Amino acid sequence: MQNHFDIKNDSQLTLYNTIMSTGSIPREFIQRLLSQVDIVDLIDGRIPLRKKSSNNYFACCPFHAEKSASFSVSHTKQFYYCFGCGAHGNAIDFLLQFDRLSFPEAIDALAKHAGIDVPRETISNTAHSSIDTQLCDVLTRIAKYYQTELRQSKTAIDYLKNRGISGPIAKEFCLGFAPSGWENVLQQFGTTLPLKHQLYEAGMLIKKDEGGYYDRFRERIMFPIHERRGRIIAFGGRILDKGDPKYLNSPETPIFQKGRELYGLYQVLNANRQIERIVLVEGYMDVIALFQYGITYAVATLGTATTAHHLHRLFRYTTDIIFCFDGDAAGRTAAWRALLTTLPSLRDEIQIRFMFLPEGEDPDSLIRKEGKDAFEQRIQTAVTLSSFFFQTLSAQADLTSVDGRARFVKLATEHLNQLPPGIFQQMMFEELAKKGRTEIISAQMPPQMKLQKARAPSSLRLAIILLIQQPQLAHCITEPLPPIDLPGFALFFELIETIKNNAAYTTGTILEYWRDRKEGKLLAKLALLEHMIPASGIESEFLGTLQRLKKLANKQQIDQLLSKAAKGELSQEEKYRLHQLIHDKK
Ligand code: CTP
Ligand code: MN
């Protein structure tokens, strides 16, 4: 299983950038930071590394379960790679994956490790984040207050007991109680006008028409919503017994966006070092009941449909996601909607499954009836995305008629085109071809789908491989490279420039320049490739590739000039140039 986040296409990239919005940490700083930390130290502080050779260290991979050590860290490359699961990256990636930090958090942590301060380019940004911190702080204090109130309310305690919630679980999820009264929070936490305003901003107060405020939550069991690091950003409140609305949630605030947050994620991350799978359920009580019964890997969306943001957040921790829905028609419709949302994000290694509960049950009621094992059995047998996809579409069309099949194929093709190109998409198209008993589909497959055969690295590819693995080689390039019309040449050229403009460079630092770009993934792959060239031969091999590239450039120029000559369009200068090139070639 892979735990790392990687990006397949531009729309994911944009999304990734929005999610991971780096604020404004100057790029040069990130580079300097990377050159000042040693990835071996950083990783060794978290998982003990064993020395294999002067530059290479090994350990059991922290990103997948294994008994033999396939996780390697290279001192020279400042890069890690797992031969088992493929996890890889530089020091920043390690913090993203292992400490599960966001990008700005990883930079902060790394700077702390190196003992340097992080400069921020705009002050407003910092000011902004401190307002957020203040809002989280006040909500955390209010959550404590609600917890105290819970301990004092027999009705509230009885309610939770009746629902089978244990004391430790109530504590784990910081459950609380908002007592009756219109001004509890207002009076305790809103002692000044600015504080009142802050409470309002945080969603805890409602404005009266005639001026003034009152408490949003009254006489409700309170479920604090934690962000990933455990700060409280919002609340959900359930009415005791019956009443409307059953659940009342914080409104959207500067620190709370429903379409991004997942209830329970903080507790799930706390309870598990490695997360093999995550079950996505609907309700607060579902998450809590599952957790209490030992299924410590369920999270809930907050009364909204699943969004791409939710998914991308989950993909940072696991590649195996199970959506859990009611077994009724509404549940199926919701599942189909969730399926459509996931399509554009489905990288090859991701596995999505759908689990439908018996009618009238939710995970909370079911786990209490059946227990953990039976529930996990249901998880095991959840239907795969592909069978749910084809099931649903076939139910909408009559596959016995030609018209029906055509409709089916057309609909499915539209949806499958949403998938990122890759093996999974190809398999889905093949399945569709079988199901629709038609050959037309393969013609509609996007061209990049025709999988390329692995072939011996071309000179250019080899040059890039050697250069990304040993950036010092750039200094063998003493004269400017002639431009070559080859895919990948621009990348090679940029790689050389980047290395030459950097004083301290390692594979890990150089790759940082490509973090948010689509070629980054290719470069990382090439950085890991075994090229089988002995260390002593690398430099001459590199020079050899340069020679071959120069020859190719010459040949391209000659061809170009000759074709011009054939049309009689050569200038005097070009004639001279052609003459030279032909001479050089000999
Ligand atoms: N929800 C909400 N607002 C409502 C109703 C529901 O935000 N008025 C959200 C809550 O997150 C809730 C989830 O939708 O947990 C599922 O709702 P529902 O199935 O009605 O509630 P349960 O989770 O089953 O709650 P309970 O078991 O407490 O009745
Ligand atoms: Mn319920």
CATH number of the domain encompassing residue 109 = 3.90.580.10
Stronger pLDDT, 428 or 316, i.e. the higher one: 428
For residue range 297-308, list pLDDT tens digits in order: 999 999 889 998
Stronger pLDDT, 164 or 27, i.e. the higher one: 164
Element of type H or E holding 73: strand 71-74
For residue range 368-380, list pLDDT tens digits in order: 999 999 999 999 9
Q: Please tell me the total number of residues recorded for the chain in this structure.
A: 586
Residue nearest to atom 23 of ligand 1 (CA): 283
Predicted confidence at residue 406, as pLDDT, reads: 86
Predicted confidence at residue 457, as pLDDT, reads: 56
Query: Is residue 87 very low, low, confident or very high in pLDDT (cuts 50, 70, 90)?
Result: confident
Stronger pLDDT, 451 or 142, i.e. the higher one: 142
Query: Is residue 6 very low, low, confident or very high in pLDDT (cuts 50, 70, 90)?
Result: very low
Residue nearest to atom 28 of ligand 1 (CA): 285
Count of structural domains within the chain: 5
Residue entry with tokens 């409470």: 199
From the CA of 281, the nearest ligand is 1
In a domain, 531, yes or no: yes
Would you say the CB of residue 16 lies under 6 angstroms from ligand 1? no
**DSSP code, position 408:** H
For residues 431 and 19, the answer to whether their CB atoms sit within 8 Å is no
Predicted confidence at residue 252, as pLDDT, reads: 94
Residue 12 has pLDDT above 60, yes or no: no
Predicted confidence at residue 49, as pLDDT, reads: 93
Would you say the CB of residue 331 lies under 6 angstroms from ligand 1? no
Residue nearest to atom 4 of ligand 1 (CA): 247
Residue nearest to atom 3 of ligand 1 (CA): 247
Residue nearest to atom 17 of ligand 1 (CA): 283
* 213 and 294 housed in the same domain: no
Would you say the CB of residue 240 lies under 6 angstroms from ligand 1? no
Tokens at residue 300, please?
A: 């809930």
* 484 and 565 housed in the same domain: yes
Q: What percent of the chain clears pLDDT 70, i.e. is strictly above it?
A: 90
Residue nearest to atom 13 of ligand 1 (CA): 283
**DSSP code, position 263:** B
| 321 Rama class: left (phi>0) / alpha (psi -120 to 50) / beta | beta
In a domain, 67, yes or no: yes
Mean pLDDT throughout 237-256?
A: 94
Would you say the CB of residue 249 lies under 6 angstroms from ligand 1? yes
Would you say the CB of residue 237 lies under 6 angstroms from ligand 1? no
Residue nearest to atom 21 of ligand 1 (CA): 283
In a domain, 560, yes or no: yes
Query: Is residue 502 very low, low, confident or very high in pLDDT (cuts 50, 70, 90)?
Result: confident
Mean pLDDT throughout 5-11?
A: 43
Q: Of 389, 417, 432, at which residue does a domain stop?
A: 389
In a domain, 136, yes or no: yes
| Chain centroid, CA 218 distance in Å | 37
* 553 and 518 housed in the same domain: yes
| Cα atoms found within 13 Å of the Cα of residue 163, Cβ hemisphere only | 21
Query: Is residue 80 very low, low, confident or very high in pLDDT (cuts 50, 70, 90)?
Result: very high
* 345 and 416 housed in the same domain: no
For residues 284 and 300, the answer to whether their CB atoms sit within 8 Å is yes
**Segments forming the whole domain that contains residue 40:** 10-114
Residues with CB under 5 A from ligand 2 (ion): 285, 362, 364
* 425 and 369 housed in the same domain: no
Predicted confidence at residue 439, as pLDDT, reads: 47
Question: Which stretches within 363-458 are classed as H helix?
Answer: 363-370, 372-380, 385-396, 402-416, 423-435, 440-444
Residue 321 has pLDDT above 80, yes or no: yes
The pick from 173, 239, 284, 324 for probing ligand 1's pocket by mutation, whose C-beta has the most ligand atoms within 8 angstroms, reads 284
Distance CA 275, CA 268 (A): 8
* 97 and 171 housed in the same domain: no
Residues 6 or more apart in contact with residue 441 via CB below 8 angstroms: 409, 413, 429, 432, 433
415 alpha carbon to ligand 2 midpoint, in Å? 33
Query: Is residue 525 very low, low, confident or very high in pLDDT (cuts 50, 70, 90)?
Result: confident
Mean model confidence pLDDT for the chain: 87
Stronger pLDDT, 577 or 321, i.e. the higher one: 321
* 166 and 237 housed in the same domain: yes
| 280 Rama class: left (phi>0) / alpha (psi -120 to 50) / beta | beta
* 21 and 55 housed in the same domain: yes
DSSP structure string for 330-342: HHHHHHHHHHHHH
Q: What is the CATH number of the domain that holds 433?
A: 1.20.50
| Chain centroid, CA 471 distance in Å | 28
* 103 and 176 housed in the same domain: no
* 202 and 319 housed in the same domain: no
How far the first Cα of the chain sits from its last, in Å, is 54
Residue entry with tokens 């770009």: 517
Q: What is the CATH number of the domain that holds 477?
A: 1.10.860.10
249 alpha carbon to ligand 1 midpoint, in Å? 10
Residue nearest to atom 9 of ligand 1 (CA): 303
142 alpha carbon to ligand 1 midpoint, in Å? 22
285 alpha carbon to ligand 1 midpoint, in Å? 8
In a domain, 259, yes or no: no
In a domain, 408, yes or no: yes
How many helices (H) and strands (E) would you count in the chain?
Answer: 26, 16
Q: Of 69, 86, 114, at which residue does a domain stop?
A: 114
Predicted confidence at residue 504, as pLDDT, reads: 61
In a domain, 4, yes or no: no
Strand partners, 112: none
Q: Of 194, 218, 249, at which residue does a domain stop?
A: 249
Tokens at residue 160, please?
A: 């939770």
For residue range 133-171, list pLDDT tens digits in order: 889 999 999 999 999 999 999 999 999 999 999 999 999
Residue 450 has pLDDT above 60, yes or no: no
Q: What is the CATH number of the domain that holds 132?
A: 3.90.980.10
Predicted confidence at residue 453, as pLDDT, reads: 35
Stronger pLDDT, 399 or 71, i.e. the higher one: 71
Least confident window among 324-328, 491-495, 514-518 = 514-518
Least confident window among 118-132, 202-216, 476-490 = 118-132
In a domain, 103, yes or no: yes
Residue nearest to atom 22 of ligand 1 (CA): 283
* 350 and 463 housed in the same domain: no
* 576 and 465 housed in the same domain: yes
Residue 445 has pLDDT above 60, yes or no: no
Mean pLDDT throughout 279-289?
A: 97
Instruction: Give the SS3 label for residue 256.
Output: strand
Mean pLDDT throughout 171-182?
A: 97
The pick from 282, 302, 306, 364 for probing ligand 1's pocket by mutation, whose C-beta has the most ligand atoms within 8 angstroms, reads 282
Residue 440 has pLDDT above 60, yes or no: no
Would you say the CB of residue 289 lies under 6 angstroms from ligand 1? no
Mean pLDDT throughout 515-537?
A: 84
Q: What percent of the chain clears pLDDT 90, i.e. is strictly above it?
A: 51
Query: Is residue 503 very low, low, confident or very high in pLDDT (cuts 50, 70, 90)?
Result: low
Stronger pLDDT, 584 or 465, i.e. the higher one: 465
For residues 301 and 249, the answer to whether their CB atoms sit within 8 Å is no
Would you say the CB of residue 248 lies under 6 angstroms from ligand 1? no
246 alpha carbon to ligand 1 midpoint, in Å? 7
Least confident window among 256-260, 316-320, 495-499, 531-535 = 531-535
Q: Note the pTM of the prediction, 2 decimals.
A: 0.65
Predicted confidence at residue 393, as pLDDT, reads: 93
Tokens at residue 546, please?
A: 């340069």
For residue range 58-78, list pLDDT tens digits in order: 999 988 878 888 899 999 899
